[in-house]
Amino acid sequence: MNANIQNVPITLGDRSYSIGIGTGLIEDPQTYAAAPKAATALVVTNTTVAPLYAERLIRALSARYPSVHTVVLPDGEGHKTWQTLNLIFDALLGHGCDRKTVLYALGGGVVGDMTGFAAASYMRGVPFVQVPTTLLAQVDSSVGGKTGINHPLGKNMIGAFYQPQLVVCDLDTLKTLPAGELSAGLAEVIKYGPIADPAFLDWIEVNMDALMARDPVALAYAVKRCCEIKAWVVGQDERESGLRAILNFGHTFGHAIEAGLGYGEWLHGEAVGCGMVMAARLSQRLGLVDEAFVQRLALLTARAGLPVKAPVLDAVDNAGRYLALMRVDKKAEAGEIRFVVIDGVGKAALRGAPDALVREVIDACCA
């Protein structure tokens, strides 16, 4: 086993697996010792990541699989669609892949979500491994088994819960991450403090400059701590029947921003960062946190290079447009929007709120 690796276990009975975190992992064949053996592996990546890391991964996997194939998808949230998903199925069928074929998701959250959904669906389920190359994917989307694609009316509305066999977080990939993608990932890092760990929120505030400068020690700690918190949550509520919903802090507003602007206009993390500030404002209006907390979170979000002012989605009835989009949300029940709010720092809750109050929050955050 690679000496540079730290492991965080995800405990889910016979679906348990490990998150490996370290440097120099992608090109080391030993990294994949826990992955299933098979005659064939398919590496799913995109046009941005393939030139950087695909050959390294293929070389490492060639020691384990007699045949290693690759499919390169177009890059970006706007391509998280049925049409792009079919490119993966085309490759699987075209290469005669059987039900033991192992899929490797090499890329960010879009590649991971689509590869996982393809793995869940092909021959009713084949194994897959996550090799996330963005900060956002390493701390959030690659862990926990949420897979899927977008629909024009709602983000991630079509998908499945399907756990990977292994997650490989090679911190070296963060060196090639564009600045905007780094900031987008920091939104998901920040999220874990308010919902679960006040001490981690304090640590992020102290270390934000180091994180923005890509200090390897700070990034390694942030990825590990986020994975530990997510592992704890997912281990208790794999299919989001209760506790796991807290991981969606900022996402109800954020998904509305993404769908309303058009997928890809804002990065997912940018929308979540702004959405967290909006959710904090709603928490304050519900009497759960004070104004100082809202300002604290807004300042930290801005320091991460993320937007804190919400975009106008409709010139005539902006709040109405937000509300309509938020009703197409997996947490909505019988048309009532359910928001993840902060009920004191380190504790999140799922709550409804009157439309009139939500409209006031939206108006204030867009002003």
**CA–CA dist 162, 211 (Å, integer):** 31
Burial class (CB in 10 A: 0-12, 13-18, 19+), 351: middle
Residue 57's nearest CA partner among 136, 49, 182, 147 is 49
Please tell me the number of Cα atoms within 13 Å of 302 on its side-chain side.
Answer: 9
- Would you name the residues annotated as active-site residues? 124, 146, 188, 230, 240, 244, 248, 251, 255, 268
- Alpha carbon dihedral 206, 208, 214, 220, in 10-degree steps, equals 60
Q: Are strands 348-351 and 6-10 parallel, antiparallel or unpaired?
A: unpaired
